[in-house]
Each structure stands twice: as structure tokens, then as C-alpha cells.
Structure 1
Amino acid sequence: MSTKEKPGPQSADREVSRIRIVRAAAEIAAESGYEATTISKVTKRSGLPASSVYWFFRDKDHLMAEVVRHSFEQWISSQPRWERDPRDERSPTEGLRAILSRSVRSLVDSPDFVRIGLMLLLETRDVEPEARQYFLATRDEVTSSIAAWFTSYFDTALRARRPELAMDLARVVLAATDGFFFSRQIHDDLDPEDVVAIVVAVVEQAMAGE
């Protein structure tokens, strides 16, 4: 018999408490910003004592990194994957439109990881927060996945002639989604499909030029 602790009511209760803390921190950060999010406010919002927070997280930085991680994993699990099916006969622009139509629309709900991550990118600190490091790492992974997806449509000659093209296009896609997120904070009637159409048109022109 394994000596490891088996999942049970106690471990389930701990997970419920951990998620309550993470959600409370996310709500406060969305309302007041990273700096104004404190352990004291998190305990009050979650209804759990400070000892519970420190049981799971060593400090505020660790907690906020978990907020970003938890939000990102929830978001990415519902997104179409940047993987091309060999049987897929759609053009790259048709495939791009299909993926972006879902992913851009999901940003309407302002996922916590995007809000907090972009907030941290715009601020300068002597010590880089763990949440910022995690956010940048996830962006690098997503950018690489998008670049690989574009590369799958390029022939050998194009890959050799313009090895940077796929990464450039991936960064254009990310920049456009960032812009959409910021714009929605000002103009909440901005249609995601309009943004998708513009991105697809830009990519189409870039690839046509090759």
C-alpha cells in the first residue's frame, strides 16, 4: 500500500480554501491593481485567516503568481490549439480566422491573467514579480506555438528566405489581441470579429508579398 496521502475530504477542503484565496486576490487586483492587493484584503474578502493564506503561499508575490497561473490554465484549456491537422485543407487565413474568432472573443471577459500580466508589464520594479515572470513565460510559449503554426504553411524556400517571418506574424497576432483587450476597456462595443478581420487581412497581405 502506498504511503502517500490519499485524496479525501480534508485535501478537498484545502483545495476549496486555496481556490477561494486565489479568487479573492484576483477580484481585488482587478478592482484596485497589483500594489493595492494585500494579504489583509485577501483574508477579508475570502473569509479565511492569514494563517490559511500563508499555508498555501509564502507571500503576496507567490499568491499573485498563482492567480496568473490559475487564470491562464483555465483560459487556455478552452482555447483552440495552435496545431495544424495535416488533413486540414483550409488556407492559412481561413485557419487563422477560425482560431482567432474564438480566442479574441474570450478576451471580452477580461481574464485575470491578461489584466494582471499586462498591468505588471507596464510597471517597473527593482525586483521583478514572480507573476510577471510567469506571464512573460506563457507569452513566449504561446508566441512560439503560433509561429510554429504559421511555419507549417511555409514551403522550404520561404522558410530559408524569411526565417523570421513566422515569428513576426505571431507577434503581430499577439500585439493585436493586446490592443483589443486595452480597447475594450475604453470602448466596450468594439466587435471582436472586426479585429479578427483586420488581423487576417494584415497576415494575408504579408504572406502574399512572399
Structure 2
Amino acid sequence: MPSTPSTRRPDDDREISRVRILKAAAEIAAECGYEGTTISRVTKRSGLPASSVYWFFRDKDHLLAEVVRHSFEQWISAEPRWQRDPRDERSLAEGLRAILSRSVRTLPAAPDFLRIGHMLLLESREVEAEGRQYFLATRDSVTNSIAAWFTSYFSTELQARHPELAMDLARIVVASTDGLFLAHQVGDTWDPDDFITIIVTIVEQAVAAA
């Protein structure tokens, strides 16, 4: 029986190799931290030569930045968007509960971008790591999206009276989910429904007080 020609393209092989390197780097960073993540360890874990690593990434800093970016893009693609459909008639509390009910349940899986991003935030170095810059920019982008979502529920009068309220609430959501993620890492498991109820209650009370 004649063999079937392979349909896999060279670009497919390159992407497979690239993802293997990213996966290996993420595992090592989780085990050894930033300083302990070396190209040597990545090549050993991935089974690919150093030349392959340097084909895709300039250096370790660039590699870990790409780990953060790759992980974030994978995570965010599966998450509900902070975009309100004009036809959505749910209250702010109902809408917030619906989004959080999906997003907070992915946190115990410890997405690499959160684990490595927080690790880089806590490290002080003379030259800021590229991954840290990307993580901060990502947090700003997400925070702005959440603030815009909150604003879509506010009347013109409320926005004029408290222009900072939407951003304050967005920061509370981001900081709270950071805390939930870190709590899971130390074994302090929270019931997601309890967590969501607390956040929704805080938001409702803040809006009512405004």
C-alpha cells in the first residue's frame, strides 16, 4: 500500500518546537525561579538543542517574556470578555457574577503568566525584566477593560459625580483575583461561590453609596 505524503508543514514543526521550549521554561521557572531558569536547563527539559532556543528567543529574558505572553493569550482566549452586549438586560450584579463565575474557576490551575508575572513583580533588578513589563501592561489592559465594563452600567450623572469609581472597582476585582490565585498557591482553598459573593457585595455597596 503506498504511503500517504505527510501534510505537516515545516512551520508546524517549528511551532511545535517553540511550544516545547515555552512549556519547559515555564516548568523550570515555577520550580527554580527567574535566576534558576537557565538555557541549559531549558534545553535539557525540552530535549532540544540550545541553537533551537536561540532561533526563537534572544535570551532568557525574552524567553520568559514569551512564556508570560503565550500563557496569557491561551488563558484569555477561553475567558469571558469584559464587553457588555447592548442587548444584555442583566443588572450589574448579575453580569458581574456571570463573568466571575467562569473566570475565577480557572485560577487554581495556576496559569503560567500569573505565576511568573507575580514572581517577576516581587524581584528587584537594575534592568527591568521584559516579562515584568509585559505582565504590567497586560494587567493595565485588563483593568481598563473591566473599568469600561463597569462604566457601561453607570448613568451619566453617576459618572460625572464619581469619575474614578469604575477604575476603583476594576482595581478591586483585579487585586481580589490576585489574592485568590496566591491563596490557592499556599493551599488556602476558597469556595469560588463565596469569593464571588463577596466581590459582588462589595461592588453593589460601593455603587449604592456613590
**What is the TM-score of this pair, normalised by structure 2?**
0.95
Gaps of 5+ in 2: 1-6
* Residue of structure 1 in register with 2:143 after alignment: 143
Counterparts in 2 of 1:10-29, with a 5 A limit? 10-29=10-29
- 8 Å CA contact retained: 2:183, 2:189: no
* Residue of structure 2 in register with 1:62 after alignment: 62
Q: How many residues align?
A: 204
Structure 2 Cα separation of the partners of residues 54 and 188 of structure 1: 39
- Give 1:8 deviation, angstroms: 6.0
- Give 1:33 deviation, angstroms: 1.3
Find out whether 1:175 has 2:171 as its counterpart.
Answer: no
- Give 1:152 deviation, angstroms: 0.4
Counterpart code for 1:82:
W
- Percentage of identical aligned residues: 73
Counterparts in 2 of 1:114-153, with a 5 A limit? 114-153=114-153
- 8 Å CA contact retained: 2:40, 2:50: yes
- Give 1:31 deviation, angstroms: 1.5
Counterpart code for 2:35:
E
What are the Cα deviations for residues 87-143 of structure 1, in whole angstroms up to 9, with x where unaligned?
111110110011011111111100000000011111111000000000001100000
Question: Superposition RMSD on alpha carbons, in Å?
Answer: 1.1
What are the Cα deviations for residues 11-38 of structure 1, in whole angstroms up to 9, with x where unaligned?
2111111110000000111122121111
What are the Cα deviations for residues 36-67 of structure 1, in whole angstroms up to 9, with x where unaligned?
11100000000000010001001000000000
Counterparts in 2 of 1:1-210, with a 5 A limit? 9-210=9-210
Superposed structure 1 runs of 4+ greater than 6 Å apart: none
Structure 1 Cα separation of the partners of residues 83 and 161 of structure 2: 23
**What is the TM-score of this pair, normalised by structure 1?**
0.95
Counterpart code for 2:31:
E
